[in-house]
Structure 1
Amino acid sequence: MRRAFIRASAALAAIGLSARAAAQAAPAAGKGGRVKVVYQLSEGIDQAVRAMGNLRNHLNGAPGTKIVVVAFGYGIDFLVEGAKDGRGNTFDGPVGALTSAGVEFRVCRNTLTARKIPESSLLMEAKVVPAGVVEIARLQAEEGYAYIKP
């Protein structure tokens, strides 16, 4: 009986500590309560097509959201000048419109180097960062961004 009580007490204490730790680790909204989100794109054109819809829907549903798209690996392909989706549409129009709405697009320099893609071939809206995964981690840890991978 006493062991059961001790186990139950320990379990309840662990649950309480876990909940407190989770609450402290949760991403914070930015100044003024502004939600900040980082989207990871790393899988190529099909993922980028889905993400364009997600980004538009996100901004329509929560217009004040600060959104950063970080692309690395094959996820950078849609940000290369002249890239087209499966229907032959280029991405420069949608990327330009999203940039005008406040979305930022960041591209991994490590990927550019490994794939021998010159920075000059990127859409003008794309900003190059040293490493995509490091940028995502930094945004989450230092700036309180929530993470989405469409």
Structure 2
Amino acid sequence: MKSALIALAFALSTAVAAAQDIVKVVYHVNTGVETAAAILNNINNELKASPTDKIVVVTHGPGIDFLISDAKDSKGREFSGQVSALAARGVEFRVCDNTLQTRRIDAASLLMETKIVPSGVAEVARLQAKEGFVYLKP
């Protein structure tokens, strides 16, 4: 019984240590599709180097454009495949509802991997202040 408790305590301490090693990063995106390919490449590179990182992409203004269905880069490539692949690896994509309302964009036109938040800017601030995310502005 005593050895089982010691093993459990060791397993828990190892899990806590591993959880503390996870880096949480918020990518703040407010530029259009012309920069989206580079941003998605940055995220892929980060995950190659640090596969356990927790990444949230928060978009507002023109930054939401690459998350609209059928959005394409300057070479005619759709972003949906890259977004889907990153989402499958745990990356979250959050879209500003203020932007949707101001630009009169139907939420149904967004990629299914997205989540709508009330305010992109407020979401970035919340993630930094309350959840300890590191801020990146690619």
- Please tell me the TM-score bracket, short chain as reference: 0.7 to 0.9
> What pairs with 1:41-56 in structure 2 (closer than 5 Å)?
41-56=29-44
- Extract unaligned runs of 5+ from structure 2: 1-17
* Kept in 2: contact 1:37–1:147 (CA 8 A): yes
Is 2:77 the partner of 1:61?
no
Distance in 1 (CA, whole Å) between partners of 2:98 and 2:122 is 11
Structure 2 length-normalised TM: 0.86
Q: Kindly tell me the number of residue pairs found equivalent between the two proteins.
A: 121
Q: After TM superposition, give the deviation of residue 46 of structure 1 in Å.
A: 1.6
SS of the residue 2:72 aligns to? coil
What's the Cα RMSD here?
1.0
- How high is the TM-score relative to the length of structure 1? 0.79
Q: Which runs of 4+ in 1 moved over 4 A?
A: none
Identity %: 53
Give me the whole-angstrom Cα distance separating, in 1, the residues matched to 2:119 and 2:19.
Answer: 26
Question: Which residue of structure 2 aligns with residue 82 of structure 1?
Answer: 70
In 2, are the aligned partners of 1:41 and 1:47 still within 8 Å (CA)? no
Q: Distance in 1 between matches of 2:102 and 2:42?
A: 28
Q: Secondary structure at the match of 2:104?
A: coil
Please, which runs of 5 or more residues in structure 1 have no aligned partner?
1-29
